[in-house]
């Protein structure tokens, strides 16, 4: 699984980075930065699904490899 952020829709409140810092960082304005080119370790897949649901802008999606 890979995680992708649509930066057109990201509004930069850094919720993803606070919920899952293993995979997301945020820039100085709070906009999402995806770590490790979005590769999701198996152990984090369930938490990624929660983050996808938690993004208020629906800016995060997953793709299967
Ligand atoms: S939670 Fe969504 S809108 Fe907010 S910073 Fe993360 S990707 Fe962007």
Q: What is the pLDDT of residue 64?
A: 93
Q: Ligand 1 center to residue 8 CA distance, Å?
A: 11
Predicted TM-score (pTM) of the model is: 0.94
Atom of ligand 1 nearest to the CA of 58: 2
pLDDT digits (tens, 9 = 90+) for 11-50: 999 999 999 999 999 999 999 999 999 999 999 999 999 9
Give the burial string for 15-41 (b: 16+ CB within 10 Å, else e): bbbebbeebbebeeeebbebeeebebe
Q: Ligand 1 center to residue 41 CA distance, Å?
A: 20
């Amino acid at each position: 699984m890979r995680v992708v952020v649509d930066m057109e829709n990201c509004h930069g409140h850094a919720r993803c980075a606070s919920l899952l810092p293993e995979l997301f960082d945020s820039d100085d304005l709070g906009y999402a930065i995806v770590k490790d080119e979005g590769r999701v370790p198996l152990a984090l897949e369930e938490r990624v699904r929660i983050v996808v649901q938690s993004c208020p802008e629906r800016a995060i999606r997953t793709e299967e490899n």
